[in-house]
Structure 1
Amino acid sequence: MTAELSPARQAVAAAQRIVVKVGSSSLTTAHDGLDTERLSALVDAVAGRVAAGGQVVLVSSGAIAAGLAPLGLRRKPKDLATKQAAASVGQEALARAYAESFTRYGLVAAQVLLTADDVVRRVHYRNAQRTLNRLLGLGAVPVVNENDTVATTEIRFGDNDRLAALVAHLVGADALVLLSDVDALYDGDPRGGGASAITEVNGPADMAGVDAGSTGSSGVGTGGMASKVGAARLACSSGIPVLLTSSRLADSALGAADVGTAFAATGSRMSARRFWLAHAAGATGRLWLDDGAVAAVVDGRRSLLPAGVTAVEGSFDGGDVVELVDPAGVLVARGVVAYDAAELPDLVGRSTHDLPPEQRREVVHADDLVAMRRPVRTA
């Protein structure tokens, strides 16, 4: 690492509000369950950041993995019921361990369990936002985890990387730190030898030819480097710099930020509503647009009118989030639709002036729309 830190590292080191994500492999083992020494070392680093005047939200995986050993399970279960059972045991153990460890520093750990609905549904999203902000204002350390006990789809061991990126934007964090069992991003599998660490990522060009892989090797985590890179890109595209390194280096990561791989922010901050539309909300349908509508929506930042819609897919109600795609089916925007799916076929391709007065409104208003591709710049 060079003596002079990059702007991304300086931003992480100076961040007043920071989200820290730690994976299952950093806190647990497949055979012994929760490792309290590793957890306490992480708490030491977080407490040090708080003592320096920072606010920290900890996104912690490990609930399911922590429940294996107490239930006598020797390997990660495949059926949903057993996964939920392990989560219910492990979540209690994880919360208790964090509470006891933070008590050493006079800090209160606050457990916050989120499900997909809590980031997909706008009202839930705002409630989670208010709760986390209030906890930070009261001096607590929120410990966030996916509520695996009641989640019914895509329960995975420790893949909370995307959740961490969403939480970072939700709380207006100044930086995101991703901690795992690997000390940096490499251009290949470091276990095979010959791979080189990538210390700075300033844009897509720095990732050219990088094989991030897909899964972890610890037996308790599934996020892997690919998941972390995806979360880093999501955060950076929203104006949040990211530092990725090993949990063993948490002190340095939350101190001088002179370890691991730093990802520079590549985009600008979005409002909470626009970010929710772009990255958190679940889409229930698709609207196909002609080229003129694509230009109006993406380049002109204008509302989508019935005349620009060529086809409708899915079952949705007015107020739901839908995807807007170009003639080739490429996603160009997302937005809140003003009509039910059953109403739209009679309006497709028609000029607003040809419609009855009660239907002379936008299909998706510009205020409820976010472009998902960059506008075309003309000289």
Structure 2
Amino acid sequence: MEPGAPATVSDEIPTDPAHLSPEWLTAVLRAHGGDVVVERVTATPVGSGQMAGSYRLRLDYRGASDLPSTMIAKLAVGPEEHRSFGSGAFRNEVRFYRDLAGTLRVPVPGCHAAVVSESGSEFVLLLDDLAPAVQGDQIAGCDAERARAVAVAAAGLHAPRWCDESLLEVPGMALPTDEDRALMESVLEPMAEAFLARFGDRIGDRERAAVGWLVERAGPWLVTPPRRYSLLHGDLRIDNVMFAPDGSVTVLDWQTITPGQPLRDIAFLLATSLTVADRRAAEREIVADYHRALAEHGVTDYSAEQCWEDYVASLIQAPLIIVFGAGAAAPTERGDRMFLTMLERAATAIDDLVPGALS
């Protein structure tokens, strides 16, 4: 398929790894330029995705092939209503790999196939297997050096499309409008109430205050025109990063891409992936390193002081994604622990850096 062509296929797209048959895989790989015949495949679950499933495929080909013998298949799984809820996110991730990744310098997996249904409720990505790299653990968190590596890598996402008006012409990539604000506000308050009710007395006063601050401030914040914008990951945390033994990182899970203030990614990363003590000790230096990486990628007329101010102003990204993420994902024990841990860290960051926000 040519870049920019509709990312759809007419054949049924699997929503169960058992349906990733040799015949289906042969057809989709050949449609994406692979001269292969898959004879056998086995699928093993990997990762801890909240909205989609990921599986390591071991592929046996007929004859020699330039394609790898293992790939990661990411696909929409679960009941139709759950998949329908995630359809916009699924379209986003296919769009990212097909149309946007090649314009950026952020490290991402190679993509061998990307298909999505007309409804968006079904999709499959066939991606490079990054083993022996390992996925970050959001609950355990990471040290400052790993967070720094992710932040510097994110500069390769933000800088190439920095204030690039053509980005806003990509379908689905417009900046938020008043209609978007009205829609968000119509669902945010009930989702916040459901979040607080779901976690009950497991949430402390500071965390409850952070959710209340989110509901109060999110609408005006969403539609305030950013002085600087770029393509955002939107959910940049270490669960969505693979860490290789040599210290390099690869960023995954591009379902929440959106144009906006780039520091939203950095604020969410540091506020939720570092322990409170590590964030307090290292965040200014990490933000400074991110700023230097932006300059190395060609961003000009943006001072280190402006970058820090944008970081602090973007901390609302953390409770926003936590509340919406908890509402969108199927509840699991690990997921609940993750959201609670992230909110505790993020609420402390807001209390530390945004005077009076939680009082």
Instruction: With the length of structure 1 as denominator, give the TM-score of the two structures.
Output: 0.25
Bigger Cα Rg: 1
The answer to which structure has the higher helix fraction is 2
Instruction: With the length of structure 2 as denominator, give the TM-score of the two structures.
Output: 0.26
Relative contact order higher in (CA < 8 Å, ≥ 6 apart): 2
The answer to which structure has the higher strand fraction is 1
